[in-house]
């Protein structure tokens, strides 16, 4: 993230936080937990509107995702391309992430294409049935 309005040390911290979400692992989860517990907004967004939840979900990091969701991370926050974390997890075939997001109230109809649309597109009848049952 490079925002000329932010001091260098703040940019460095934000870059590190998003790196933790992309990299995953126990150490990254612990680091993020510490920063969030000390005041960093769990729903901080990068220049593309991606949150830490979005990046952890897209990269399949349930360890980091669990930390973020336990601290109130928004499972339905769309990025600037109108994509949801759940649709990203479906696209990447991250079933454990899908389960975790759904357990925390992810909306399979949020975004375009939605997670439901993505499940149809990638021929995942198991997810289509699950998402449709969530709508009722």
Domains for the chain: give ranges and CATH numbers.
Answer: 8-135 (1.25.40.20)
Please state, for a pLDDT cut of 70, what percent of the chain lies above it: 95
pLDDT value for 79: 97
Cα-Cα-Cα-Cα dihedral sign, residues 111, 78, 15, 23: negative
Q: What distance in Å separates the CA atoms of residue 50 and residue 33, rounded to the nearest whole number? A: 18
pLDDT tier for residue 11 given thresholds of 50, 70 and 90: confident
pLDDT value for 41: 96
Place of tokens 């993230």: 1
For the chain, give the mean pLDDT: 94
pLDDT value for 131: 96
């Amino acid at each position: 993230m490079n925002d000329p309005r932010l001091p260098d040390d703040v940019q460095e911290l934000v870059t590190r936080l998003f790196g933790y979400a992309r990299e995953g692992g126990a150490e990254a989860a612990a680091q993020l937990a510490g920063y969030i517990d000390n005041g960093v907004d769990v729903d901080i967004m990068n220049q593309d509107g991606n949150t830490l939840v979005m990046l952890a979900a897209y990269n399949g990091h349930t360890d980091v995702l669990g930390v973020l969701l336990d601290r109130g991370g928004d499972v339905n926050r769309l990025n600037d391309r109108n994509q949801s974390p759940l649709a990203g997890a479906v696209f990447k075939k991250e079933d454990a992430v899908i389960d975790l997001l759904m357990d925390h109230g992810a909306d399979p109809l949020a975004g375009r294409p939605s997670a439901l649309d993505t499940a149809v597109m990638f021929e995942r009848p198991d997810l289509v049935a699950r998402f449709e049952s969530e709508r009722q």
